[in-house]
């Protein structure tokens, strides 16, 4: 089956259109971050201007960028590691020892993601407060782990399903208990899938704003909270806000760019097979 030439042109145009539409705000943000505040609000918007690093210098003076980066890293990687450790046995059990409730259980796990987070803000806030976990990295790691767990379980389940059950059974016959099966057979075979699940979880938790804004103040504030801190008091200073935002997305952008091959390979694993 070969698509017609005209059809392929349209698909290409559509693809580029969507890509540009998604890229434009980010590009504009980066551009704005190098403008002076006056250039930033000029009408019509300026495409050519004298670039300045002034905003970046000020952002660093006004906020604790390094601290926020460290919090973001600790929270996103910490919650991902914990999430995968919890999800592995669950996904393993459901993929290789399904019973009549497995499908329902999977749907229920996913359904928890359909509830608006704000619905449980109050209880979570109160629990965090009374356990002293408010504004701590530990507290946020716990919340982020739970928030991403459904997605991690689902992705791992899908990847595990791709592994022939015979191989797991062969290892059981060979004397492998559950832990040995996971460690010696499952981990190496589902490695790429587990890696891309981890990458996605890191990105999701890096960009998560709701819980980090509501449950942190100073000590555990990650980059999302760092940006917000700039938007309220200095909401009118577009250039500085842009610089702060650029700084916030830069690490994850670099991380995503470095791992994109892995990510794409993992996410299209089932599709190409």
Shortest Å, Cβ 183 to other proteins: 11
Binding of other proteins by 175 (CB under 8 A): yes
- Where does this chain touch other proteins (CB under 8 A) — which range of 50-58, 140-148, 160-168, 255-263? 160-168
Tokens representing residue 267 in the block: 């996410």
Among 17, 177, 192, 270, interactor with other proteins by CB under 8 A: 177
Interface segment toward other proteins; rule CB under 8 A; list 69-77, 106-114, 164-172, 198-206: 164-172
Looking at the Cβ atoms of 168 and 203, the one nearer to other proteins is 168
104 interacts with other proteins by CB under 8 A: no
**Distance (Å, rounded) from C-alpha 32 to C-alpha 55?**
10
- Classify residue 116 by burial, with Cβ atoms within 10 Å: 0-12, 13-18, 19+: exposed
Q: Pick the piece of the chain touching other proteins (CB under 8 A) from 64-72, 138-146, 168-176, 220-228.
A: 168-176
Interface stretch with other proteins, choices 21-29, 85-93, 180-188, 214-222 (CB under 8 A): 180-188
Report if residue 176 touches other proteins, rule: CB under 8 A.
yes
Does residue 170 belong to the site contacting other proteins (CB under 8 A)?
Answer: yes
100 binds other proteins (CB under 8 A): yes
Closest CA to 215 of 160, 141, 265: 141
Least CB distance from residue 207 to other proteins, whole Å? 34
Among 9, 42, 120, 174, binds other proteins (CB under 8 A): 174
By CB under 8 A, residue 185 contacts other proteins: yes
Q: Which is nearer to other proteins, 46 or 189 (CB)?
A: 189
Q: State the minimum distance, in angstroms, from the CB of residue 100 to other proteins.
A: 7
Nearest to 237 by CA among 12, 2, 35: 35
To other proteins, the closest distance from the beta carbon of 167 in angstroms equals 5
Residues within the interface to other proteins (CB under 8 A): 100, 164, 166-167, 169-177, 180, 184-185, 188-189
């Amino acid at each position: 089956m070969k698509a017609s030439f005209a059809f392929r042109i349209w698909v290409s145009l559509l693809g580029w259109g969507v890509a540009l539409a998604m890229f434009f705000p980010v590009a504009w943000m980066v551009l704005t971050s190098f403008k002076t505040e006056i250039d930033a609000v000029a009408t019509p918007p300026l495409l050519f201007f004298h670039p300045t690093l002034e905003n970046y210098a000020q952002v660093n003076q006004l906020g604790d960028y390094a601290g926020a980066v460290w919090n973001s890293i600790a929270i996103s990687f910490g919650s991902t590691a914990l999430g995968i450790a919890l999800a592995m046995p669950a996904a393993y059990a459901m993929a290789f020892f399904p019973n009549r409730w497995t499908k329902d259980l999977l749907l229920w796990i996913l359904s928890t993601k359909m509830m608006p987070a704000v619905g449980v803000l109050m209880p979570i806030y109160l629990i965090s407060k009374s356990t002293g976990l408010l504004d701590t990295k530990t507290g946020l790691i716990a919340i982020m782990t739970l928030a991403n767990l459904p997605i991690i379980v689902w992705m791992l389940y899908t990847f595990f399903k791709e592994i022939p059950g015979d191989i797991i059974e062969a290892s059981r016959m060979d004397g492998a208990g559950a832990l040995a099966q996971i460690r010696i057979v499952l981990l190496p075979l589902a490695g790429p899938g587990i890696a891309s699940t981890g990458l996605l979880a890191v990105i999701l938790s890096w960009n998560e704003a709701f819980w980090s804004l509501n449950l942190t103040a100073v000590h555990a504030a990650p980059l999302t909270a760092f940006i917000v801190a700039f938007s309220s008091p200095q909401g009118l200073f577009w250039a500085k806000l842009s610089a702060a935002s650029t700084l916030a997305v830069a690490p994850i952008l670099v991380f995503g760019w470095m791992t994109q091959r892995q990510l794409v390979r993992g996410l299209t694993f089932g599709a190409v097979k």
